[in-house]
């Protein structure tokens, strides 16, 4: 293995960003951030607690109540959002290098995430300029219209997989809508989030509109969720954490949008384009190191092609290039953190008792340090197996046969999650009927996860609450106030008028 690449000018310490200026924690506390290839600390970050969240929320509330941002015309905000996109695009290689170093994602995939982050800002810049709200007319009597207003201070809590891009999914619509924000990035991967402050300042975002507090979820994240001046919470992360956030939002009746875990099925029928389905299902679980909520980590294959599919799939999985994330040839890099590595490896050991191991099953040969896991394939997995039911969030897949459409649908729905599904078949009628009966928020037919930013993104069951994407994001970050105007005489019963009442 070649020497591990370390980007130039890595910071030794990153701070919060509050009210337009960098800030240390009030307590002075910090935490270490690890490089996932060596598992050695390479920097420290300020450890935010409730008092730091108080300062950030106060800055955001001041900017919302008295600053220009919420009152700007949509075109004015759109110009700034486009400047943000320009800056992200101009720094995409630097962003990708830092993201790869911090997360362990392969460099080619990290570059794509930086470019997608820029596109998110462009999309919402266009959307707010084109935004039209409803008007209802009752001829000669009344006109009713919708007055859309930003909600206020938004709390954004983001995960450690593809952090920069997923932060942009929340920041872009929140800022486009006129909200001010407090971002709490994942403690495993805070590096790329620290770049937003300079980008926003250079683009012309007023002080206090964007605030960032690093820290642990149970400290900084918990304080953000419970803060009385935070009007809504957008969270992407693990399901049990989402349940805790749901409970903590209840006393303040906060708005919530939560995209949570997944155990998404990829259903391959015998009439499918075999090669395309093979390519897509491999990419769908092993790209991004398998650390993706929409990973097709359960592959359901029709019995008549099952043996051939398993053989070919395992051959390809064994040939996947695992190595240093900065090597352009790498297809699977290092998992994000040793804690997560241990979790994934524990599931692999469980899988060895629940299915037939066809590929992987441990560390790749020659990679004795770092959080490397060989792409792992289990076949003949029963639907009650833990590796069939539980989210692993790593390069591990379970393959299960089915005989009928009805059995395939039952297997697809037989988990607590309901985020995404992938269906491969040449039968158009079957494809639509099957898709519409899967209990998930999103379905891709004869495709892997290709996002259209106009469509709703989110899950059902244990995979989330609410949807974002397109106008649904604008709806989440704004309040829709109904305004009624009378055009003629108002005929009202005259209570208390006695004999004179009409």
In the prediction, which pLDDT does 291 show?
A: 98
pLDDT at 501: 56
Predicted TM-score (pTM) of the model is 0.95
**In the block, residue with structure tokens 């469509």:** 455
Total H helices, total E strands in the chain: 15, 23
pLDDT at 266: 98
- Local structure of 418: helix, strand or coil: strand
CA nearest neighbour of 273 among 421, 426, 423, 432: 426
User: Residues, the chain, total?
Assistant: 502
As a whole number of angstroms, the distance between CA 203 and CA 81 comes to 8
Cβ-contact 54, 26 below 8 angstroms: no
Backbone angles phi, psi at 142, to 5 degrees: -160, 145
Distances (CA, A) of 65 to 152, 445, 479: 8, 46, 16
Which helix (H) or strand (E) segment holds residue 225: the answer is helix 222-226
pLDDT at residue number 502: 52
Nearest one of 403, 156, 222 to 304, comparing CA atoms: 403
**Whole-number Å distance between alpha carbons of 433 and 409:** 10
Q: What is the rounded distance in angstroms from the CA atom of residue 436 to the CA atom of residue 433?
A: 5
CA distances from 33 to 39, 285, 311 (A): 9, 27, 40
Catalytic residues: 259, 293
Instruction: Provide φ and ψ at 279, rounded to 5°.
Output: -60, -45
Q: What is the pLDDT of residue 182?
A: 98
pLDDT per residue rounded down to tens, the chain (502 residues): 556 888 988 999 999 999 999 999 999 999 999 999 999 999 999 999 999 999 999 999 999 999 999 999 999 999 999 999 999 999 999 999 999 999 999 999 999 999 999 999 999 999 999 999 999 999 999 999 999 999 999 999 999 999 999 999 999 999 999 999 999 999 999 999 999 999 999 999 999 999 999 999 999 999 999 999 999 999 999 999 999 999 999 999 999 999 999 999 999 999 999 999 999 999 999 999 999 999 999 999 999 999 999 999 999 999 999 999 999 999 999 999 999 999 999 999 999 999 999 999 999 999 999 999 999 999 999 999 999 999 999 999 999 999 999 999 999 999 999 999 999 999 999 999 999 999 999 999 999 988 899 999 999 999 999 999 999 999 999 999 999 999 988 888 889 998 765 5
Q: Which two tokens stand for residue 387?
A: 């590796």
Long-range CB contacts for residues 448-451, cutoff 8 Å, separation at least 24: 448/280, 448/281, 448/283, 448/284, 448/296, 448/422, 449/284, 449/292, 449/294, 449/420, 449/422
What CA–CA distance (Å, rounded) separates 84 from 164? Answer: 13
| HSE value, Cβ hemisphere, 13 Å, CA-based, for 215 | 28
Tokens of 478: 């704004």
CA distance 172 to 480: 19
pLDDT at 125: 98
Is residue 356 within 8 A of residue 320, CB to CB? The reply is no
pLDDT of residue 293: 94
Terminal Cα-to-Cα distance of the chain (whole angstroms) = 92
């Amino acid at each position: 293995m070649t020497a591990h690449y370390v980007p130039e000018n890595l910071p030794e310490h990153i701070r919060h960003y509050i009210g337009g200026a960098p800030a240390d924690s009030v307590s002075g506390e910090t935490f270490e951030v690890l490089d996932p290839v060596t598992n050695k600390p390479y920097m420290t970050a300020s450890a935010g607690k409730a008092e730091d969240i108080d300062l950030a929320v106060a800055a955001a509330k001041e900017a919302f109540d008295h600053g220009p941002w919420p009152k700007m015309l949509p075109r004015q905000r759109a110009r700034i959002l486009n400047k943000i996109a320009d800056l992200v695009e101009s720094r995409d290689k630097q962003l990708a290098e830092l993201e790869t170093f911090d997360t362990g994602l392969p460099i080619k995939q990290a570059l794509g995430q930086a470019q997608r982050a820029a596109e998110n800002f462009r999309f919402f810049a266009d959307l707010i300029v084109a935004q039209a709200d409803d008007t209802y007319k009752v001829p000669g009597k009344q006109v009713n219209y919708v007055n859309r207003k930003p909600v206020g201070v938004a709390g954004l809590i983001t995960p450690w997989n593809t952090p920069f891009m997923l932060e942009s999914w929340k920041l872009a619509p929140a800022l486009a809508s006129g909200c001010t924000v407090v971002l709490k990035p994942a403690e495993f991967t805070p590096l790329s989030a620290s770049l937003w402050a300079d980008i926003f300042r250079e683009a012309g975002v007023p002080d206090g509109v964007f605030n960032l507090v690093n820290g642990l979820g149970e400290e900084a994240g918990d304080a953000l969720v419970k803060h009385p001046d935070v009007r809504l919470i957008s969270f992407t992360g693990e399901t049990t954490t989402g349940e805790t956030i749901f409970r903590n939002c209840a006393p303040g009746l906060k708005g919530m949008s939560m995209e949570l875990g997944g155990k998404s099925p990829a259903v391959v029928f015998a009439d499918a384009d075999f090669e395309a389905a093979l390519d897509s299902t491999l990419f769908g679980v092993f790209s991004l190191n398998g650390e993706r909520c929409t990973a097709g980590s359960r592959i359901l294959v029709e019995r008549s092609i099952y043996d051939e599919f398993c053989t070919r799939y395992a051959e390809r999985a064994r040939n996947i290039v695992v190595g240093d994330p900065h090597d352009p040839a790498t297809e699977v890099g290092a998992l994000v953190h040793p804690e997560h590595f241990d979790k994934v490896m524990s599931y692999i050991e469980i899988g060895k008792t629940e299915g037939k191991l066809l590929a992987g099953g441990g560390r790749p040969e020659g990679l004795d340090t770092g959080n490397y896991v060989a792409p792992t394939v289990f076949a003949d997995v029963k639907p009650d197996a833990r590796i069939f039911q539980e989210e692993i969030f790593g390069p591990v897949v379970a393959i299960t046969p089915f005989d009928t459409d009805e059995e395939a649908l039952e297997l697809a729905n037989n988990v607590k999650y309901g985020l995404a599904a992938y269906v491969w078949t040449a039968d158009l009628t079957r494809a639509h009927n099957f898709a519409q009966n899967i209990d998930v928020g999103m379905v891709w037919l004869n495709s892997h996860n290709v996002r259209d930013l106009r469509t709703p993104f989110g899950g059902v069951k244990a995979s989330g609450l609410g949807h974002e994407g397109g106008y649904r994001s604008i709806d989440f970050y704004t309040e829709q106030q109904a305004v009624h105007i009378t055009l003629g005489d108002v005929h009202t019963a005259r209570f208390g008028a006695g004999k004179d009442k009409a």
